[in-house]
Amino acid sequence: MDPVTLDAVDRGVLHALQIDGRAPLRTIASVIGVSENTVARRYQRLRSAGVVRVAGVVNGARLGYTPWTLRLQCTPDAATAVAAALAARPDTSWVYLLSGGTEISCSTQSRTAGEWDELLLSKLPRTRRVTSVAAHSILRITASPYRWSGLTWLDADQVAHLTPAPPTTDDSPMSLEVSDHALLEALGRDGRMGYAELASLTGWSDSTVKRRMEQLRRAGVLTYFLDVPAATLGYGVEARLWMRVRPSRLAATAEAFARHPEVSFAAVTTGSSNLVAAVNCRDSADLYRYLTERVSALDAVREVETAPVIRTVKRAAALLPG
């Protein structure tokens, strides 16, 4: 990733793409008050520098999938290889090396209990150097990187102009067609890929590609995520928090974390800890202040385990179960 200094136009483009990753460049230009060519140049510059990517992501909840977060403890000589093996899977995202290179965290999702057992018992790298595996089912997400406030730049009127129509869904799970996988895999690599290129990859016509993308988006299955490393925005320290929270205050505490600007992800989980959060801070001193002032003020939090992120192996992905 090349170093990039962001100005007001860059920040406007990034926030616009966070709101709608498929927004036409001419619409973004109109909203932020610059030319379409300027927006195109800025986006290409940021993309070429490796600091921005729009990813098409599958909302597994609409397909009946169960989301999980994993923690693996490894010997130092094995962690890099295990993290790479996890990152290579199509059903994982947010793969991180933590805590001095001996711990890995990642997200995944499964369709059935059998599929989940197969991942844990058969598909994880078989090595004695993986010393422990903890799997936490995600019960409720209260803060998502899709809407992290660290990217906020535009005013309320600009946001309203860019915000796409919400999905028109019911509560019944949907099913993907086999032919959808090529489309979703391509959009996972580049959520702004053009219709002609997607048609070439899927064997469909341009109009079929466009129609199916619109159907999946309206159904809440397909969404677009602006993937920007926090360091690009000046947040040099990332950490994962695993917390034990008093059950009677768990819901309220999870919502309180969602209101913290440092928090890009928070979720209630099963397991020995019942609340997990991802935090982004300017530096180690900022993290210290966050833990001692913001987290400590939440008296329902009984215990906090903090693990700094030392390397990002994989970020957002389509998350198609294998």
- pTM for the structure as a whole: 0.89
Express each pLDDT in 174-193 by its tens digit: 788 888 999 999 999 999 99
Distance of alpha carbon 310 from alpha carbon 73, whole angstroms: 14
Query: Has residue 283 been placed in a domain?
Result: no
The alpha-carbon radius of gyration of the chain (Å, integer) is 20
Write out residues in the chain with pLDDT < 70, as ranges: 1-3, 111-127, 169-171, 319-322
Inside any domain, residue 28? yes
Of 90, 56, 321, 66, give the one whose Cα is nearest residue 214.
56
Q: Tell me how many domains the chain contains.
A: 1
For 40, 96, 155, 240, 304, the CA distances from 307, given in Å and listed in that order, are 38, 10, 34, 5, 10
pLDDT at residue 46, rounded to an integer: 95
Residue whose C-alpha is closest to residue 41's, from 25, 22, 24 = 25
pLDDT, residue 114, reads 58
Question: In angstroms, what CA-CA distances link 198 with 58, 105, 131, 182, 204?
Answer: 17, 32, 42, 9, 8
DSSP per-residue letters across 155-202? -HHHHHHHPPPPP---SSPP---TTHHHHHHHHHH-TT--HHHHHHHH
250 part of a folded domain? no
pLDDT for 100:
82
206 vs 317: CA distance, rounded Å: 24
**Is 207 a member of any domain?**
yes
DSSP state of 129: T
Cα–Cα distance between 10 and 162 in angstroms, integer? 16
Q: Is residue 270 part of a domain?
A: no
Residue 293 neighbours by CB under 8 Å, 6+ apart = none
Q: Is residue 189 part of a domain?
A: yes
Confidence (pLDDT) at 297: 96
Angle at the Cα of 264 (from 235 to 108), degrees rounded to 5? Answer: 120
DSSP string, 17-38: HHH-TT--HHHHHHHHTS-HHH
User: How far, CA to CA in Å, does 211 sit from each of 208, 223, 237, 304?
Assistant: 5, 15, 41, 47
Instruction: Answer whether residue 41 is part of any domain.
Output: yes
Separation in Å, CA 105 to CA 21, 123, 213, 255, 315: 26, 16, 31, 23, 12
Please give the share of the chain, as a percent, with pLDDT higher than 90. Answer: 73
* pLDDT computed for residue 5 by the predictor: 87
pLDDT of residue 269: 97
> Which residue from 308, 318, 321 is spatially nearest to 93, judged by alpha carbons?
318
* Domain enclosing residue 169, as ranges: 8-52+148-227
- What pLDDT digit, counting tens, does each position of 59-73 carry? 888 888 889 999 999
13 is a domain residue: yes
